[in-house]
Chains A and B, each alone.
Chain A
Amino acid sequence: MILVVDGLNRHLFGEVLDDMFELRARVFGGRLGWDVNIEDGKEIDQFDHLDPAYVIGLDDEGNVVAAVRALQTTGPHMLSDVFSDILCGEAPMRSATMWESTRFCVDTQRLTRGKEKNSVSYATCELMIGSLEYCRNAGIQDIITVIDPVMNRVLKRSNCAPYDYVGQTVPMGKVPAMAALLDCSEERISGLREFADIRHDVFIEEEEALEMFEAKKAATLSPANRDHKPLTDLEKYFVEQMSSAKTEEERQAVLKLIEALSDTFTPEQKTALLQTPRAFAHEA
């Protein structure tokens, strides 16, 4: 699934961004050997301070498996400042309906080969679909993207070949880099979706993502039955109620019930129940 983090919601997703900066350090500092600044295991540059938009691929557990960064071409961006070699010193394009995408990366260590979910190919296609659709929804018509030849091959193989290139291919670390042009047309998006067999909406909403991370944290921090004792009938009842709750109201009702019956629990149990009904649920 794809989460979009920008200047408006980045305060909610600090840990996701940290994971992404670490992935970027492994990919650009390590595998590609680019001359990037890595501090504390994270690769962060001057453009990360300009409130770019990040399109981030997450696996089902909420781990960052792919990411890319987008900036407007009307203002400061990488091709206008640091990638001038690629443009042979020429002025970069500037357009209200063209965004620049940089730092495209996929976690090849966590992901598998093949084409199914959790593969490099799936994560790459999902991220491409997410970025193209995010651009299209913003009224953007073209993307200029700085990529390496491997990524270029991946795009070609995924039914998503760039329609042209700008400037020249230049050496950068262990691999060359180039600037490719992609349109955000329906044809391109549906071609990619067809290739990857991804039919569903790839985006995860802000609230949904927050809930997922909350649940993940709760599950690792304090499972309600961390003593591994079998659940009592009453606990099982709560779990059933919680997992069948469809709305926030129903969820709140269960929490109130737990609160009301709290004298039957130890304070610890109660806290755990209230905090982690979801983590609790999968133990049932």
Chain B
Amino acid sequence: MDIVDLSTLPEQDTRYDEFLRQVCDKYEMDHAAYAGMNPAAGTIHGHVTYGDDWKAHYQEQGLHLIDPTLHMSQRSIAPVDWSRLERGKDFQRVFRDAHDFGIPDQGITIPVRGPYGDIGLLSAVRECSRDEWKKLVPNVISDLQSLAVHIHDNVMTSDTISRMLYHPTLSSRELEILQWAAAGKSQQDIGDILSISHRTVEVHLRSSREKLNALTTPQAVGRAIGIGLIYPG
């Protein structure tokens, strides 16, 4: 399986842009954008695949101050399809301009809420018929949820203070399951060993991966060993 993974990209400022481009390729989107706010560090982060002309125009016009895909979406816990926002005058203001730059107004924003009041917003847009869009979204929405948290956690832990705050705390069940995974056991095996359902193993692994900022279980195992949470298999 080819996965879009930040840890495979070089440690540079452009790696988030590259990540977003990969998201577009894999999930058939025209553009993707990430905005993150970290009140603890007092920082705001933005990464987009849009062209420089639109970026410049967006900033000059101060559109970030009114853009409802940022301001409204963060009040939802579910992904916000832009059709929910399109009647607002701010939306019309932003996307009338966007249209001139060839940016479609059909999109979705996935809000992420972090533990320290930090907020992330991953948006993806695509120019296509409404029907096509409605078929596409259900197929990609779960993956986009995971990738939204993935890029958000990576951006939030990019400075030292936040990285220290972000030290992962795994429950003993999560550690137990990860330890068995390190020993090479499959999810099915682990379920049998611990007398729990296969799905319970799966949700704990998913949670552990996310806490360790990993997209795959082997990665999570590696990192957990690296910081001494579990022993090498």
A contacts, CB < 8 Å to B: 6-8, 50-53, 70-76, 80, 87, 90-99, 134, 137-142, 163-164, 166, 181, 183
Contact = CB atoms under 8 A, between A and B. Distances in A.
Most buried by A among B112, B138, B144, B171: B171
B75 A97 contact: no
A87 B207 CA distance: 15
7 contacts: A74-B210, A93-B174, A94-B210, A94-B211, A95-B210, A97-B145, A137-B78
B214 interface: no
Interface string B5-36: 00000000000000000000000000000000
B142 A97 contact: yes
The main secondary structure of chain B at its interface with chain A is: helix
A181 to B, nearest CB: 7
Nearest to A164: B200
Nearest to B78: A138
Interface in B151-191: 169-174
Contact of A8 (B76, B148, B174): B76
A264 to B, nearest CB: 37
- Interface residues of chain A: helix, strand, loop or mixed (majority): loop
Given A6-B76, A75-B113, A93-B174, 18 more contacts: A7-B76, A8-B72, A72-B113, A74-B210, A76-B113, A91-B174, A91-B211, A93-B207, A95-B207, A96-B148, A96-B210, A97-B146, A134-B78, A137-B78, A138-B141, A138-B145, A139-B141, A139-B144
A70 B77 contact: yes
Contact of B145 (A51, A53, A90, A140): A140
The 8 A-B pairs of least Cβ separation, nearest first, read A7-B75, A75-B113, A139-B141, A96-B149, A93-B207, A138-B78, A139-B142, A90-B171
A76 B115 contact: yes
Interface residues on chain B, size class? 35 or more
Nearest to B79: A138
Nearest to B152: A74
B84 A8 contact: yes
Contacts of B84: 8
Contacts of B80: 8
A75 B172 CA distance: 20
B76 A163 contact: no
B206 interface: yes
B199 A163 contact: yes
A90 B145 CA distance: 25
Contacts of A140: 142, 145
A32 to B, nearest CB: 25
A74 B112 contact: yes
With a 10 A CB-CB cut-off, give which of A90, A97, A141, A163 has the most chain B CB atoms.
A97
B114 interface: yes
A91 B72 CA distance: 31
A80 B170 CA distance: 12
B47 interface: no
Contact of B200 (A92, A138, A163): A163
From A51, A70, A76, A94, residue with most partner B Cβ within 10 Å: A94
Contact of A98 (B75, B112, B206, B211): B206
Determine which residue in B150, B196, B207 has the highest number of CB atoms from chain A within 10 A of its CB, and name it: B207
A142 B203 contact: yes
A87 to B, nearest CB: 7
A134 B200 CA distance: 22
Q: Which of A73, A76, A138, A181 gathers the greatest number of chain B CB atoms within 10 Å?
A: A138
Contacts of B76: 6-8, 51, 53
A101 to B, nearest CB: 11
